[in-house]
Amino acid sequence: MKSCFKHLGFICILCASAANAITLDREAFTFISYDLNVRVEPEQQRLGVRGKIILRNDSQTPQKIAVLQISSSLDWRSVKAGNKPLQFVSQPYSSDIDHTGALSEAIITLPEAIAPKSTIELEVAYEGVIVLDATRLTRIGAPEDQANRSDWDQISAKFTAVRGAGYVAWYPIATEVANLSEGNSVFEVLGRWKAREAGSSMNIGFASPTVAGDATPPVSFCGGDELHAITHEGSPKFPWSRCSYQPLGLAVPAFTLADYEIVDRPTITIYNLPEHAVAAESYADAAEKASALITEWFGAQRRKAETADLARPDAAPFESGPLLLTPLMNSDSKLAGLVAAHQLTHAAFSSPRPWIDEGLAHFAQALYLEQQKGRQAALDYMGLHRAAFAEAAKQTAAPRSEDEVNRALVNTTSEDLYRSKAMCVWWMLRDMIGEPALKKALAAYRPEEDKEPSYMPRLVQAQTQRDVEWFFDDWVYRDRGLPDFRVVSAFPRKMLTEGYMITITVENLGGAGADVPVTVRFKGGEMTKRLEVRAKSKGVIRVEVPTLAEQVIVNDGSVPESDMSNNTFKIVAGEVSK
C-alpha cells in the first residue's frame, strides 16, 4: 500500500511538471529595456555579460514564471531581482533561432506574479564562448562549407563578428521553438520577436582586453548609435565602446572587433580590413554617387550609413537598417552602387513595417538601375526578384482565406514577399500615380505615426485624384495572387485624316488588378498607353498609330504576372474596319 502511494505521488509530480510545461508562455514578456556590459575576450573566444533587463508582461494573465534564453554555448551565472538571487532552472531548449540549434533557457520563478502590463527588472549574468557553429544548418543537410558561409558568427583572436537574434542569442531573448525543417517557422518566430521588441531600447557597453601602450587596440563596431573611446592614452590602454538603440525598431544588434581601417565620408563610414582598402574606397565612392538619387526620393539621411568588412571572403552579407556587414572584396563600382542604393535608403527612411522598410530599399535599387542604364535594366532586375515570389504564388493556386491574410504584405514574414513583391508594388505605384505624387507621400511618412496598416496607403491616396484603394486591397492588405493578362482583341480602324485607331480589349484572368502598359507596335515605331484592368475583368483602350499596327503587347514586365506567355497579340492585315 505504501509503495503504491509513493508510486501515485511520483505520477502526480509528473502531472504537475507536464501541466507547468503546457502553461509556460515563452512569449508573454516583452523585453522593453536592455542595459548590458559585455566583455569580449577574443583570445579565449569568450563573452561575459552583466547587466539589467526590464520585462513587461504583455499577456492577458499574471505571470509567475519568466523565461530567458541565450545561445546554448553560453551559461547562466545568476538572475537577481531587487538584489536578491532568484531561483531558476537552466535547461537546453532546442531551437533554430540560434546558430547552435539550441538555447540555454533559464526558467525563473519570480518573487511574485507580474500582472498584465506590469514590469519587473532583472539583473542577469551569463558567459561562455561563441565559436563558429552552423549546427542548425548542417543537421538539416547543408554542406558544411555552405553552412559556415551563412552562419559565420564567432569571436576569435583574428576577427570577431557576431549578429543578434536570429543568428546568435548573445543577449537574452524569449521565443517559442523555431524549426528550420518546418517551412517558414524560423522567420515567423523571429518576426514575432522583432515586432514585440520594435519599441524597446538597448544600451550595450563593450570592453575588450587592455593593450600595451605602443600597440593599436582593435576597432570595435556595432550597428547602433555609437561612442568609441580608449581610456588611458598611455600604457596600458583600455578600449571600450557604447552602443545604443533607441528604439530597437527592426534592427538586429551586432558587433565586430577587428584591426579595421576607417574610410569616413559624409554619407557613409566604412570599417575595412587593411587588405581590402581598394574595395572600401570604391564602395565609398559609389555610395557618394548614389546618395543624390536616394535623397531626392527618401529625404536626407537620418543617420550615417555604416559598412563593416567581413574576413571570410565568401561570407553572406548581413544588413540591419543602415548597417551592412559584407566582405569588401569587390571593387566593381556598378555593383557597389546597387548595394549602396539599398543601404542608403535604410539610412534615410525607416519603417516598422517590412514591406515598407525593405520594399522601398529594393525599389531604390531598381530606381538606381533605371537612372544608370534605363527602364529596361530596372525591369530585368525586378524580373530576377519576381521569379522568387511568383513561384510561391503558383504553389498556392487555390489560396485559402487564411493565406490571403497571412501572406498579405502587411502581415507576411516571408522575405520573398516583403522584399521582392513589395519592390514591384512600389514600382507599380510610381507608374500609376507618378513620381512627384509618390515622393510627396513618402516625404509625409513618419514612422512613429505608423500605428495602422492603412497609414501609408492613406498618405498615398492623399496625393492622387485616382482611386488606389482597390490596388492596396489586391496587393497589400490581401494576397490575391497575381494578375494574368491577355489581349482578347485588337480592332484597327482607318481614321478620316490619317493613321489608325486601334481598339484593344485586355482581359485579366488573375485575382489582383493592375494598371498595365499596353504597347502597339507598328512599322517604324511603337506607342504605349496605360490601362487599368481589375481582377477577373476586362478593360478597353483606344490607341492612335500613324501606320497599320502589327502587334499589341500587354505588360512590359513592370507588373508581376502569373503567366506572361499569352501577352502578345498579332494583328492580321485585312482585319481593318473602315
- Residues near Zn ion (CB under 5 A) are 319, 358, 361
Q: How far is the CB of 324 from Zn ion (least distance, A)?
A: 9
Phi, psi of 80 (to 5 degrees): -130, 155
Residue nearer to Zn ion on the CB measure, 353 or 480: 353
Q: How far is the CB of 404 from Zn ion (least distance, A)?
A: 26
Pairing of strands 537-545, 500-508: antiparallel
Residue nearer to Zn ion on the CB measure, 250 or 559: 250
Grid cell 523585453 is found at 31
- The DSSP bridge partners found for residue 394 are none
Q: How far is the CB of 90 from Zn ion (least distance, A)?
A: 36
Pairing of strands 160-163, 119-129: unpaired
Residue nearer to Zn ion on the CB measure, 279 or 347: 347
HEC readout, 456-503: HHHHHHCCCCCCCHHHHHHHHHCCCCCCCEEEEEEEEEECCCCCEEEE
* Cβ–Cβ < 8 Å for 148, 141: no
Grid cell 547552435 is found at 100
Q: How far is the CB of 272 from Zn ion (least distance, A)?
A: 21
The residue among 167, 105, 101, 172 whose CA lies nearest residue 136 is 101
- Residue 337 grid coordinates: 552602387
Q: Which residue is nearest to Zn ion (CB)?
A: 361
Q: How far is the CB of 512 from Zn ion (least distance, A)?
A: 25
- Residue 209 grid coordinates: 582586453
Q: How far is the CB of 252 from Zn ion (least distance, A)?
A: 11
Evaluate the CA torsion angle 76, 29, 163, 133 in order and state its sign: positive
Q: Which helix (H) or strand (E) holds 224?
A: none
Q: How far is the CB of 319 from Zn ion (least distance, A)?
A: 5
Residue nearer to Zn ion on the CB measure, 56 or 385: 385
Residue nearer to Zn ion on the CB measure, 388 or 527: 388
Give the total residue count for the chain.
578
Q: Which helix (H) or strand (E) holds 390?
A: helix 375-395
Residue nearer to Zn ion on the CB measure, 168 or 361: 361
Phi, psi of 129 (to 5 degrees): -105, 155
Q: Which helix (H) or strand (E) holds 257?
A: strand 254-258
Residue nearer to Zn ion on the CB measure, 79 or 344: 344
HEC readout, 305-372: EEEEECCCCCCCCEEECCEEEECCCCCCHHHHHHHHHHHHHHHHCCCCCHHHHHHHHHHHHHHHHHHH
Pairing of strands 305-309, 323-326: parallel
Q: How far is the CB of 337 from Zn ion (least distance, A)?
A: 16
* Cβ–Cβ < 8 Å for 480, 511: yes
Residue nearer to Zn ion on the CB measure, 283 or 485: 283
Q: How far is the CB of 321 from Zn ion (least distance, A)?
A: 8
Number of neighbours of residue 317 by Cβ within 10 angstroms: 11
Pairing of strands 268-272, 261-264: antiparallel
Evaluate the CA torsion angle 341, 342, 343, 347 in order and state its sign: positive
Q: How far is the CB of 349 from Zn ion (least distance, A)?
A: 11
Residue nearer to Zn ion on the CB measure, 194 or 478: 194
Q: How far is the CB of 147 from Zn ion (least distance, A)?
A: 23
Residue nearer to Zn ion on the CB measure, 319 or 431: 319
Residue nearer to Zn ion on the CB measure, 126 or 298: 298
Residue nearer to Zn ion on the CB measure, 151 or 358: 358
Q: How far is the CB of 315 from Zn ion (least distance, A)?
A: 17
